[in-house]
Amino acid sequence: MSTQLLNTEAVVSRLARTRALMSRHGIHALLVPSADPHLSEYLPAYWQGRQWLSGFQGSVGTLIVTPTFAGLWADSRYWEQATKELGGSTIELVKLLPGQPGPLEWLAEQTPEGATVSVDGAVLALASARTLESKLKARGACLRTDLDLLGQVWEDRPALPVRPLFEHLPPQATVSRVEKLAKLRETLKQRDADAHFIATLDDIAWLFNLRGSDVSFNPVFVSFALVESERATLFVDPGKVNAQLQQTLERDGVELRDYNEINAALAALPSSTRLLVDPARVTCGLVGHLQDEVKLVEGVNPTTLAKSQKSLDDAFHIRQAMEQDGAALCEFFAWLENALGRERITELTIDERLTAERARRPGFVSLSFNTIAAFNANGAMPHYHATEQEHAVIEGDGLLLIDSGGQYLGGTTDITRMVPVGTPCNEQKRDCTRVLKGVIALSRAQFPKGILSPLLDSIARAPIWAESVDYGHGTGHGVGYFLNVHEGPQVIAYQAAPAAHTAMQPGMITSIEPGTYRPGRWGVRIENLVLNREAGTSEFGAFLSFETLTLCPIDTRCLEPSLLTREELEWFDAYHAQVRARLSPLLEGAALEWLLARTAPLSITA
- Mean residue pLDDT of the chain comes to 94
How many domains does the chain contain in total? Answer: 3
Residues 351 and 340 in one domain: yes
603 assigned to some structural domain: no
Residues 436 and 487 in one domain: yes
What integer pLDDT is reported at residue 604 of this predicted model? 59
Cα 339 from Cα 323, distance rounded (Å): 24
Band of pLDDT at residue 118, cut at 50, 70 and 90: very high
Nearest one of 146, 100, 467, 482 to 325, comparing CA atoms: 482
Q: Which residues contact 89 (CB under 8 A, 6 or more apart)?
A: 8, 11, 12, 15, 54, 55, 70
14 assigned to some structural domain: yes
261 assigned to some structural domain: yes
**CATH code for the domain of 337:** 3.90.230.10
Residues 414 and 488 in one domain: yes
Q: Which residues contact 11 (CB under 8 A, 6 or more apart)?
A: 53, 54, 55, 89, 91
Burial 360-377 (b: 16+ CB within 10 A, else e): ebebbbbbbbbbbbbbbb
The residue out of 306, 340, 356 marking a domain boundary is: 306
Percent of the chain with pLDDT over 90: 87
Burial class (CB in 10 A: 0-12, 13-18, 19+), 13: exposed
Backbone dihedral angles phi then psi of residue 530, each to the nearest 5 degrees: -130, 155
What integer pLDDT is reported at residue 3 of this predicted model? 42
Burial 430-451 (b: 16+ CB within 10 A, else e): bbbbbbbbbbbbbbebebebee
What integer pLDDT is reported at residue 5 of this predicted model? 45
482 assigned to some structural domain: yes
Task: DSSP for 469-501, please give it.
Answer: ---SS-SEEE--SSS-SSEEEEEE-TTS---GG
For residue 57, the tally of other CB atoms under 10 A from its CB is: 17
21 assigned to some structural domain: yes
The residue out of 102, 124, 153 marking a domain boundary is: 153
The residue out of 289, 306, 323 marking a domain boundary is: 306
pLDDT tens per residue across span 60-99: 899 999 999 999 999 887 888 888 899 889 999 999 887 7
Cα 580 from Cα 363, distance rounded (Å): 22
Residues 408 and 540 in one domain: yes
Residues 349 and 473 in one domain: yes
Band of pLDDT at residue 389, cut at 50, 70 and 90: confident
The range of the structural domain enclosing residue 590 comes to: 309-598
Q: Which residues contact 257 (CB under 8 A, 6 or more apart)?
A: 233, 234, 235, 265
159 assigned to some structural domain: no
**CATH code for the domain of 209:** 3.40.350.10
Which residue type, as a one-letter code, is found at position 418?
Answer: M
Residues 386 and 438 in one domain: yes
Residues 371 and 415 in one domain: yes
Please give the average per-residue pLDDT across 51-64, as a whole number: 91
What integer pLDDT is reported at residue 408 of this predicted model? 98
pLDDT tens per residue across span 201-211: 999 999 999 99
Which residue type, as a one-letter code, is found at position 351?
Answer: D
Q: Cα–Cα–Cα angle for 549, 553, 559, nearest 5°?
A: 120
Residues 352 and 482 in one domain: yes
Query: What 3 state SS string does 230-295 have?
Result: CCEEEECCHHHCCHHHHHHHHHCCEEEECHHHHHHHHHCCCCCCEEEECCCCCEHHHHCCCCCCCE
CB 218 within 8 A of CB 42: yes
Mode of pairing for the β-strands spanning 29-32 and 62-65: antiparallel
264 assigned to some structural domain: yes
Rg (CA), the chain: 25
Can you give the pTM of this predicted structure? Answer: 0.92
Cα 411 from Cα 413, distance rounded (Å): 7
For residue 303, the tally of other CB atoms under 10 A from its CB is: 25
Strand intervals (E) in 33-109: 62-65, 70-74, 92-95
359 assigned to some structural domain: yes
Please give the average per-residue pLDDT across 432-461, as a whole number: 98
Q: Cα–Cα–Cα angle for 29, 32, 37, nearest 5°?
A: 130
Query: Omega before 463 cis (within 30°)?
Result: no
Residues 222 and 252 in one domain: yes
Residues 286 and 390 in one domain: no
Residues 505 and 594 in one domain: yes
Band of pLDDT at residue 34, cut at 50, 70 and 90: very high
Residues 147 and 233 in one domain: no
